[in-house]
């Protein structure tokens, strides 16, 4: 049975009519048209679907709507804009990280939360914080450069 | 202002009569010949047919003077479109920013082969260069007539043609042809795909006159990706679209015998599409389609489990009947040389099936409307998928348009083409547009695999330790058990599950190097697939098809021979390599990495943490790469950290150094991943590596700390590829570094901690 859920996403409230067990990812992508979180695995193994829920990175592919409540959901679109970019977005452009770009969402969302809480991280701390995220194209070398650049910007 | 009017009505008669078809405000006299050649070269309002012999199929000048380049290949993440725009801008003499490259849309480009074999610049760029040069020639000729200035007294700057001795005499491309189409015939070689070539009369520029080519121009498509403004193929939606999911058997080869549609009757809009082995569901909402696929009760046919135990894989390959044998290289009398050898060194190497395991499982959207089929796909080869969909749906090719949109990663023949065909079958069956995305287990478990193989190498030495003969043979599954694209239903899961007669192809390869031995033989043997139909272990192209496995073996073996004669691995290679560009990449890498010349293994380390360095080199279709790996090994855990790479890369003329460096970095990281971690696992019934736990790839904590790329630029040599060559030597470079550190030779990939630990103990 479907139910009505009111979601607070990027500061706007939306109503979605869906199964309580439907993962947040599908509400964001299909109902709200927010394409930034991607489906990579649906198994909490890759990070492509990460959003912030009350400021914490969460894997929306395994977060049922019923568990979201009135928490504040922020997607990559809510992280920054071309006019007002988040430092990690600026750094990604500066370092020209992409290959296919499908994984970007997870790295940016995880980095943003990490650098907010941790100033001047060491390389080992950065790697640790990002461990588990997947990038099949192998952009890791550039990702590390971008995260270090963003860390400096957020100093 | 000078302008043409009503150009399509420009006829020989109107020119002859000096009639009003043409208004030339400069008012100068023109010869009839000039006028006629202008007519022939000139634009027309209606687009000529989209065929390879038309200039308009590649280049158009918009009304605002910007240039559209229509490219029948596409970017797979390296920023190929930037390089193509650089080439077009240089040849046409327009600003880089004025060029926009449209890629991989069958509605706007001809079949240049798609993303294939690292030929984006090598072949695709070559054609775009020739087309752009021809466009410039035509435009200058037109300007010559219009300005009454001989063509050799004209110069082009930023899309404006002007007289070199009178700058007031000028006319822009936009004024001459903006918004219209070239009506210019090219000399097409009648080939489609990678080999398509259609030059005009123009000669391309001398590389020393290139201004944009060679520059580190950045990608404009990075910002849209980080600000979520670009579409992936997964993001496309059309009105009335429903969602599809496929259902695959738990035992490979079995087919549904009973499908209980009532089991999903509670799910809104859920429908079953079943035809022989093809089984999918659609529903209005994506989550509903996922649930329907999970819930649907299906009875499957009983079949014998088709696969050997995984532990038997290499035995199976050794014993399997040879379907095709090919000796690709042979010189001297190899057998006689081996018979006379004082010493023979032999080794065998093994490489597993590997998965594309793209970042997301494939996705395609197919809409069939008024007899027209449109497909949005992440495929590497839209034009081939166009053929495949036409065949699958039984419609004429002209009725099918395939639009490439960036997919969730693609490294060869991944699951994208299968997905497009499956989506087409679903869309036809339900009469609605269907967006199909596979699930993770299907993306990793059911994509066509990189073939598993064994490789035997042997070298004959004379009494002085000189190599007098060398032989290298691979035996494995074919790289084209299913073809490299989905152009034929027999090569897609949709076709195979629906019973299309199959034709498994044969192909492998040999080491690409220039070692000169007096007696040398290299070849391969292919074996039949384990299951001839709808197999999750069907093999096809995975980035640098069969390159990593062949060169893992051949470059490990060269190292083994070097060690056997107590020579430094580089010094030994340089003794035998005959091509100067190969020597140059090796020397460049050695110099950059500060290579310490001495035989391997090193003998000065004790304790559990040891380090080593290794080199490997190879060619690939004109490109040459040398890779030096520096690795740390923890003997107590078997864990390898491939800490630093130095890569020397020569792909002829350099188009964009930034793009090239990124491309090499990706190759190295993916190469490390495939070497250290990747192996498709299976039991007798099915593939069991189906997600990121069961098919692990390199984690960021294991990422090389440093990748130094030395680019060797040869502006005088036509550019060759960079998308794949540098992944080739990675595994051998690591294996050779492990040997250097430990004295132990690892001959089976992946070098997982358990395997390394076992080998070291
Ligand atoms: S899609 Fe959610 S973690 Fe992979
Ligand atoms: S850029 Fe393609 S998966 Fe990371």
| pLDDT at site B32 | 54
Exposed, middle or buried by CB within 10 Å (0-12, 13-18, 19+), for B498? middle
Domain range enclosing B643: 558-760
Tell me whether residues B666 and A81 touch, CB distance under 8 A. Answer: no
- CA–CA separation, B695 and B395 (whole Å): 39
Tokens of B235: 């993001």
Q: What is the CATH number of the domain that holds B753?
A: 3.30.365.10
* Res. B12: pLDDT tops 50: no
Quick check: B14 pLDDT over 80?
no
DSSP readout, A26-44? HIIIIIS---SS--S-SSS
Strands B706-711 and B639-650: parallel
Predicted confidence (pLDDT) per residue in B324-338, tens digit: 999 999 999 999 999
What is the tens place of the pLDDT at every residue in B395-433?
999 999 999 999 999 999 999 999 999 999 999 999 999
HSE at residue B239, side-chain half, CA atoms within 13 A, is: 1
Q: Count Cβ neighbours within 10 Å for each residue of B186-210 and write b for 16 or more, e otherwise.
A: bebeeebbbebbbbbebebbebeeb
Largest CA distance in chain A: 49
Closest among B503, B504, B540, B242 to B416, alpha carbons compared: B540
Residue found by looking up tokens 């959207």 in the block: B365
- Cβ separation A97–B230 shorter than 8 A: no
* Band of residue B8 on the pLDDT scale cut at 50, 70, 90: very low
* B126 and B271 fall within a common domain: no
Comparing alpha-carbon positions, the chain A residue that sits nearest to B238 is A30
Same-domain check for residues B708 and B689: yes
* Residues in CB range of B115: below 8 A, 6 or more apart: B73, B74, B75, B76, B80, B104, B380, B381, B410, B723
For residues B258 and B327, membership in a common domain is answered with no
Best B120, B225, B267 member to test A by mutation, with max A CBs in 10 Å, is B225
| Strands B99-103 vs B363-369: parallel, antiparallel or unpaired | unpaired
Q: pTM value?
A: 0.95
A129 lines ligand 2 (CB under 6 A): no
In a domain, B552, yes or no: no
Distances (CA, A) of B652 to B114, B577, B581, B623, B713: 22, 19, 10, 7, 6
CA distances from residue B109 to A53, B137, B285 in whole angstroms, order as listed: 44, 22, 34
Examine the domain organization and report whether B427 and B513 are in the same domain. no
Q: Is A41 in the pocket of ligand 1 (CB under 6 A)?
A: yes
Percent of chain A whose predicted confidence (pLDDT) is above 70: 100
pLDDT at B15: 33
For residue B38, pLDDT over 90 is answered with no
CB contact under 8 A, B77 and A23: no
Q: What is the mean pLDDT of the segment spanning A132-154?
A: 98
Structure token digits, residue B641: 């950290």
Mean model confidence pLDDT for chain A: 97
SS3 B674: helix
With respect to residue B255, please indicate whether it lies within any of the assigned structural domains: yes
Indicate the number of domains in chain B: 4
| B325: in domain | yes
ipTM confidence: 0.98
**Residue among A32, A141, A50, A144 at smallest CA distance from A102:** A50
CATH code: domain A3-79 is 3.10.20.30
Residues B637 and B673 grouped into a single domain: yes
CA distance B556 to B562: 10
Q: Is the pLDDT of residue B631 over 70?
A: yes
Q: Is the pLDDT of residue B220 over 80?
A: yes
Condensed to tens digits (0 to 9), the pLDDT of residues A28-82 reads 999 999 999 999 999 999 999 999 999 999 999 999 999 999 999 999 999 999 9
- B2 is a domain residue: no
Give the pLDDT confidence of B112-128 residue by residue, as tens digits.
999 999 999 999 999 99
Residue B145 and residue B38 in contact, taking contact as beta carbons nearer than 8 Å: yes
Q: How confident is the model at residue B228 (pLDDT cuts 50, 70, 90)?
A: confident
Give me the residues paired with residue B412 across strands.
Answer: B542
The DSSP element (H or E) to which B663 belongs, if any, is helix B657-676
Give me the residue spans of the domains in chain A.
3-79, 87-153
CA atoms within 13 A on the CB side of B14: 13
Q: Residue B21 pLDDT > 80, yes or no? A: no
Structure token digits, residue B534 = 């709808």
Residue B45: what pLDDT?
A: 84
Question: Lowest-confidence range among B40-54, B384-398, B526-540?
Answer: B40-54
Q: Are strands B639-650 and B623-634 parallel, antiparallel or unpaired?
A: antiparallel
- CB spacing of A22 vs B692 below 8 angstroms: no
- Please check whether residue B339 lies inside any domain of the structure: yes
Do B153 and B167 fall into the same domain? Answer: yes
Length of chain A: 155
* pLDDT given at position B717: 98
pLDDT computed for residue A155 by the predictor: 85
Cis peptide before B601 (omega within 30 of 0): yes
pLDDT at residue B196, as a whole number: 98
Same structural domain, B299 and B325 = no
Q: Are residues B277 and B362 in the same domain?
A: yes
User: Which residue among A135, A140, A143, A147 has the greatest number of ligand 2 atoms within 8 angstroms of its CB, and so is best to mutate?
Assistant: A135
Mean pLDDT, residues B546-565 taken together:
98
**Mutation probe of ligand 2 site: the residue of A38, A105, A133, A139 with most atoms within 8 A of C-beta:** A139
Does residue B671 sit within a domain? yes
Partnered with residue B282 across adjacent β-strands are B244, B271
CB of A134 sitting under 6 A from ligand 1: no
Strands (E), B600-685: 609-620, 623-634, 639-650
- Mean pLDDT, chain B, rounded, equals 94
Band (pLDDT 50/70/90 cuts) for residue B549 is very high
Question: Mind telling me how many Å the CA of B733 is from chain A's nearest CA?
Answer: 18
Q: Are residues B295 and B394 in the same domain?
A: yes
Q: Which of B276, B278, B254 is nearest to B422 (CA)?
A: B278
From B668, B349, B663, B626, select the one nearest B514 (Cα to Cα).
Answer: B626
* Predicted local confidence at residue B691, as pLDDT: 98
**Would you state the pLDDT for residue A85?**
97
Q: Is the pLDDT score of B3 beyond 80?
A: no
Question: In this predicted structure, what is the pLDDT of residue B479?
Answer: 98
**Rounded distance between C-alpha atoms, residue B231 and residue A34, angstroms:** 11
Give Cα B349 distance to the centre of its chain.
26
Ligand in closest contact with the CA of B439: 1
Q: Which ligand is nearest to the CA of A25?
A: 1
**Mean pLDDT confidence for A107-119:** 98
% of chain B beyond a pLDDT of 90: 93
pLDDT above 70 covers a percentage of chain B that reads: 94
Mean pLDDT of B486-512: 97
Q: Does B468 share its domain with B381?
A: no
User: For B617, how many CA atoms within 13 A lie in the half-sphere containing its CB?
Assistant: 29
Exposed, middle or buried: residue B352 (CB in 10 Å: 0-12, 13-18, 19+)? buried
Closest CA to B391 of B533, B504, B489: B489
Per residue in B257-287, pLDDT (tens digit) is 999 999 999 998 999 999 999 999 999 999 9
CB pairs under 8 A between A and B: 171
pLDDT of residue B230: 84
Using a CB-CB distance cutoff of 8 angstroms, which residues of chain B are in contact with residue A23? 287
The per-residue pLDDT for B46 is 87
Do B26 and B169 fall within a single domain?
yes
Domain harbouring B519, CATH code: 3.30.365
* Same domain as B391, residue B281: yes
What's the CATH fold of domain A87-153? Answer: DNA polymerase; domain 1 (1.10.150)
């Amino acid at each position: 049975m479907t139910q009505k859920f009111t979601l607070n996403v990027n500061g706007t409230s939306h109503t979605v009519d869906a199964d309580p067990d439907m993962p947040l990812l599908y509400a964001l992508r299909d109902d709200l048209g927010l394409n930034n979180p991607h489906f990579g695995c649906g198994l909490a193994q890759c990070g492509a679907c990460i959003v912030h829920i009350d400021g914490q990175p969460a894997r929306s592919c395994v977060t049922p709507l019923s568990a979201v409540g009135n928490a504040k959901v922020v997607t990559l679109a809510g992280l920054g804009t071309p006019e007002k970019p988040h430092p990690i977005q600026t750094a990604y452009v500066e370092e020209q990280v992409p290959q296919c770009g499908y994984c970007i969402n997870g790295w940016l969302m995880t980095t943003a939360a990490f650098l907010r809480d941790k100033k001047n991280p060491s390389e080992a701390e950065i790697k640790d914080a990002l461990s588990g995220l997947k990038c099949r194209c192998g952009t890791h070398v550039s990702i590390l450069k971008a995260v270090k650049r963003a860390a400096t910007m957020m100093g | 202002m000078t302008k043409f009017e009503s150009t399509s009505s420009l006829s020989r008669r109107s020119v002859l009569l000096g009639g009003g078809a043409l208004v030339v405000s400069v008012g100068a006299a023109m010869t009839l010949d000039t006028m006629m050649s202008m007519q022939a070269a000139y634009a027309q309002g209606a687009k000529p047919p989209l065929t390879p012999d038309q200039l308009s199929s590649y280049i158009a000048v918009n009304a605002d003077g910007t240039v559209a380049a229509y490219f029948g290949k596409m970017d797979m993440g390296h920023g190929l479109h930037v390089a193509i725009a650089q080439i077009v801008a240089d040849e046409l003499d327009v600003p880089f920013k004025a060029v926009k490259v449209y890629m991989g849309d069958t509605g706007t480009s001809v079949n240049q082969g798609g993303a294939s074999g690292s030929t984006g610049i090598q072949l695709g760029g070559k054609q775009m260069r020739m087309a752009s040069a021809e466009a410039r020639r035509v435009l200058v000729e037109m300007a010559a007539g219009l300005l009454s200035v001989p063509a050799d007294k004209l110069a082009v700057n930023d899309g404006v043609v002007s007289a070199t001795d009178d700058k007031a005499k000028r006319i822009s491309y936009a004024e001459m042809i903006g918004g219209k189409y070239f009506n210019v015939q090219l000399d097409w070689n009648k080939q489609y795909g990678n080999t398509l070539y259609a030059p005009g009369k123009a000669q391309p520029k001398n590389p020393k006159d290139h201004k944009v080519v060679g520059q580190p121009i950045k990608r404009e498509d990075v910002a849209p990706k980080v600000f979520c403004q670009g579409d992936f193929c997964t993001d496309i939606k059309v009105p009335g679209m429903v969602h599809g999911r496929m259902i695959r058997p738990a035992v490979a080869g079995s087919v549904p015998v009973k499908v209980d549609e009532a089991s999903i009757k509670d799910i809104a809009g859920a429908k079953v599409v079943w035809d022989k082995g093809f089984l999918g569901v659609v529903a209005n909402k994506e989550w509903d389609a996922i649930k329907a696929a999970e819930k649907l009760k299906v009875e499957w046919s009983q079949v014998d489990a088709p696969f050997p135990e995984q532990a038997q894989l290499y035995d199976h390959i050794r014993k399997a009947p040879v379907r095709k044998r090919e000796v690709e290289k042979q010189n001297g009398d190899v057998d006689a040389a081996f018979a006379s050898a004082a010493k023979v060194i032999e080794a065998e190497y093994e490489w597993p099936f590997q998965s594309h395991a793209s970042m997301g499982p494939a996705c395609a959207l197919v809409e069939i409307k008024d007899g027209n089929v449109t497909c949005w796909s992440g495929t590497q080869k839209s034009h081939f998928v166009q053929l495949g969909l036409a065949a699958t749906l039984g419609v004429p090719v002209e009725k099918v348009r395939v639009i490439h949109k960036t997919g969730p990663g693609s490294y060869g023949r991944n699951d994208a083409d299968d997905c497009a065909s499956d989506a087409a079958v679903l869309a036809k069956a339900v009469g609605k547009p269907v967006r199909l995305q596979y699930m993770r287990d299907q993306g990793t478990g059911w994509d066509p695999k990189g073939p598993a193989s064994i490789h035997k190498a042997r070298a004959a030495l004379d009494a002085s330790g000189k190599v007098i003969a060398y032989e290298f043979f691979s035996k494995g599954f074919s790289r084209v058990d299913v073809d490299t694209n989905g152009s034929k239903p027999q090569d897609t899961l949709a076709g195979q599950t629906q019973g299309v007669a199959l034709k498994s192809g044969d192909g492998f390869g040999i080491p690409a190097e220039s070692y000169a031995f007096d007696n040398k033989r290299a070849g391969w043997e292919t074996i039949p697939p384990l299951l001839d139909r709808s197999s999750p272990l069907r093999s096809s192209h995975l980035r640098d098809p069969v390159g990593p496995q062949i060169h893992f073996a051949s470059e490990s073996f060269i190292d083994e021979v070097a060690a056997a004669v107590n020579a430094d691995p580089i010094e030994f290679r340089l003794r035998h390599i005959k091509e100067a560009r190969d020597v140059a990449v090796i020397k460049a890498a050695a110099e950059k990495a500060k290579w310490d010349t001495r035989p391997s293994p090193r003998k000065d380390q004790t304790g559990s943490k040891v380090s080593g360095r290794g080199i490997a080199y190879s060619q690939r279709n004109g490109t040459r790469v040398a890779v030096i790996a520096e690795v740390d090994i923890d003997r107590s855990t078997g864990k390898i950290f491939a800490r630093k790479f130095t890569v020397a890369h020569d792909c002829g003329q350099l188009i964009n150094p930034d793009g090239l460096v990124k491309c090499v970095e990706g190759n190295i990281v993916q190469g490390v991943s495939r070497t250290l971690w990747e192996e498709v696992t299976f039991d007798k019934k099915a593939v069991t590596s189906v997600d990121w736990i069961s098919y692990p790839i390199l984690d960021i904590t294991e990422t090389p700390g440093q990748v130094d790329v030395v680019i060797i630029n040869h502006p005088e040599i036509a550019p060759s590829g960079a998308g794949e060559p540098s992944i080739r030597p990675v595994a051998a470079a690591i294996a050779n570094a492990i040997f250097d550190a430990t004295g132990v030779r690892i001959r089976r990939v992946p070098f997982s901690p358990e395997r390394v630990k076992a080998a070291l103990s």
